[in-house]
Amino acid sequence: MFLTDNPAPITLGEAGIYALLGYAVVFFGLIMLMTVVIIIGKCFIAAEKKRKAQAEPVVVAPVEVAAPTAPGAAGDLKLHNVEPKVAAMLMAIVADKLGKPLNELRFVSIREVEE
Amino acid sequence: MNIGEILLNLWNNSGFAAIIAGFTSQGGWQNLVMIAIGCVLLYLAIVKKFEPLLLCGIAFGCILTNLPGAGLYHQELWNNFMNAEHEAYHSYGAILREGGLLDIFYIGVKTSLYPCLIFMGVGAMTDFGPLLSNPKSLLLGAAAQLGVFAAFFAAVAMGFTGGEAASIGIIGGADGPTAIFVTSQLAPHLLGAIAVAAYSYMALIPLIQPPVMKLMTTPKQRTIKMVQTREVSKAEKIVFPIVVTIFVAMLLPDTAALIGCLMLGNLLKETGVTDRLSDTVQNALMNIVTILLSTAVGSTMVGSNFLTAETLKIVVLGVAAFMLSTAGGLLGGVIMCKLTKGKVNPLIGSAGVSAVPMAARVANVEGQKANPSNFLLMHAMGPNVAGVIGSAIAAGFLLSIFGA
């Protein structure tokens, strides 16, 4: 395995055919892979929707719920369209950049900016 | 005891005597030139920071292999190894018996062990999320392999054999381990020149790509902001490496080693239950293999092999391959931009040349130059990792044609 030596020269015509064929094979391979990835993605999205739909009846009545508090924040931190996990990560990054421990920083609110 | 004789013997055994005695007849001047080239490469790695993790080892291997009398690397043993008429044909036993330290290092290149282990580390450090959230990125990864095949064709036109041309062409894939993987099998005598060209050009991507990007796209296209792609679930990320391995290895079995290792590394990262292994592959293993691979590749830069007109041709063809691959990816990006009515910024196509994550960063920087509020990095990471798979497929095709 992995031991080959092929010194035979090839003609320019052969080289052209190999080049075109090779480029086509790369496209073919990646288009097929793209199709597979799209199908897998659709399956996962459908499964996720189904899971959410099954989970929905559990919610009895829409209640005005206060924005959740992110873990690890000092004081109340309002989250608007931001998952607690993402908020925790953002706070950790800010603390790291400022070079200060997280418990010495106060975050008031985190809001996702829609473009 | 004759002290004079001892000193004379010491002198005669020294590298200085060997260089002087064989200055013209036994390539002494070539050794000196190669040691100087090794020092220049070290300067580029240390001062200019050109891919220092690899270039340092390559440069030092180059110096070590050209030290007369040191006997660390024996080109003649590897010539015998590849000579079907010789009794040491394909005999690692002969290498282990008679070889020096760098010959033993080089076995890992010859068996393709190092490039595959490096690929495992690359896989463990790669997030395929951007590709999964936008699978069309794969088309840009394919388009950016243009340079591989164009340089292959040009190399044949310049008189290289099929195997040599394939090894030169793969420089356009901008993927060091893949270039070493292909060259060590199809044209091992060109390994030093090709590895140096591939890694030097990868370091020069921020200089090579922007002019091509400006040439191939309009200022308006470069300002396009792309919408955020969907979030990818953990399960999807776990399934992806398994599917890719089975699919690509079935399509082109010659890529199984590279793709298998790349995806195994990625699976270790994504499962969430093999963190220790993922950490080892990303750090300790990757670092150890990088040292061995770079030194072994540098050791093939023997003066008689390297100081030839072929090396100059490889340098020229290599940069052409890089530029054409960038142009191919950008062309794909422009077509995608037109087809989506301006939803895709064509700059992300340039990242299809692999060179993770440097090419994606360059796309982001150029996008921000056109529009400071534009963040293309995550969008460019899709074609970037697609380029890794694309260049592996291109390598598999070339190996299937010329490796038989």
Is A2 domain-assigned?
Answer: no
In this complex, do B132 and A12 lie within 8 Å of one another by their Cβ atoms?
no
Whether A51 and A95 map to the same domain: the answer is no
Q: Which residue of A has its CA nearest to B394?
A: A26
Over range A67-85, report the average pLDDT.
67
The range of the structural domain enclosing residue A42 comes to 10-65
CA–CA distances in Å: residue A108 to residues A77, A81, A88, A93, A102? 5, 15, 13, 16, 13
Residues of chain B contacting residue A36, judged by C-beta atoms under 8 Å apart: 243, 247
Is A53 domain-assigned?
Answer: yes
In this complex, do B402 and A4 lie within 8 Å of one another by their Cβ atoms?
yes
Whether A16 and A45 map to the same domain: the answer is yes
Whether A17 and A56 map to the same domain: the answer is yes
Over range A12-27, report the average pLDDT.
96
| 10-residue stretch averages of pLDDT, chain B, 404 residues long | 86 83 75 93 91 91 91 90 88 93 94 94 93 94 97 95 95 92 91 88 89 95 88 92 93 90 96 95 96 92 87 93 96 96 94 90 94 91 94 94 84
Peptide bond into A101 cis (omega under 30): no
Whether A48 and A90 map to the same domain: the answer is no
Confidence of residue A2 (pLDDT cuts 50, 70, 90): very low
Is A34 domain-assigned?
Answer: yes
- Tokens 């990125």, residue located: B137
Residues of chain B contacting residue A4, judged by C-beta atoms under 8 Å apart: 163, 185-186, 402-404
Is A1 domain-assigned?
Answer: no
Amino acid letter, B287: N
Interface contact A43, partner B, CB < 8 A: no
**CA torsion through residues A44, A45, A47, A51, sign:** positive
In this complex, do A33 and B162 lie within 8 Å of one another by their Cβ atoms?
no
Amino acid letter, B88: A
pLDDT at A1 over 50: no
Domain boundary among A43, A65, A87: A65
Whether A22 and A57 map to the same domain: the answer is yes
Q: Which residue of A has its CA nearest to B397?
A: A22
CA–CA distances in Å: residue A105 to residues A72, A96, A108, B283, B304? 10, 11, 10, 33, 64
CA–CA distances in Å: residue B54 to residues A59, B21, B59, B106, B197? 57, 34, 9, 15, 12
Over range A29-44, report the average pLDDT.
93
Whether A51 and A90 map to the same domain: the answer is no
Q: How far is B216 from chain A (nearest CA, A)?
A: 20
Whether A60 and A87 map to the same domain: the answer is no
Interface contact A89, partner B, CB < 8 A: no
Q: How far is B4 from chain A (nearest CA, A)?
A: 49
Confidence of residue A97 (pLDDT cuts 50, 70, 90): confident
Write the DSSP string, B334-391.
Answer: HHHHHHTTS-S-GGGGGGGG--TTHHHHHHHHHHHHH-TT---HHHHHHHHHHHHHHH
Whether A23 and A61 map to the same domain: the answer is yes
**What's the ipTM?**
0.86
Strand ranges inside B257-321, DSSP E = none
Whether A16 and A56 map to the same domain: the answer is yes
Q: How far is B362 from chain A (nearest CA, A)?
A: 24
Residues of chain A contacting residue B141, judged by C-beta atoms under 8 Å apart: 30
Residues of chain A contacting residue B232, judged by C-beta atoms under 8 Å apart: 41
Tell me the CA end-to-end span of chain B in Å, nearest whole number.
60
Whether A50 and A91 map to the same domain: the answer is no
In this complex, do A18 and B162 lie within 8 Å of one another by their Cβ atoms?
yes
Is A70 domain-assigned?
Answer: no
Is A72 domain-assigned?
Answer: no
Whether A59 and A93 map to the same domain: the answer is no
Q: How many domains, in total, are found in chain A? A: 2
Write the DSSP string, B11-48.
Answer: HHHSHHHHHHHTTTTSSHHHHHHHHHHHHHHHHHHHTS
B195 closest CA partner among B366, B84, B61, B97:
B61
Whether A17 and A54 map to the same domain: the answer is yes
Q: Encoding tokens for residue A75?
A: 């004081």
Q: What pTM, to 2 d.p., does this model score?
A: 0.80
Is A41 domain-assigned?
Answer: yes
Residues of chain B contacting residue A2, judged by C-beta atoms under 8 Å apart: 110-112, 184-185
Is A73 domain-assigned?
Answer: no
* Rg, C-alpha atoms of chain B: 23
Question: When comparing pLDDT for A70 and B176, which is higher?
Answer: B176
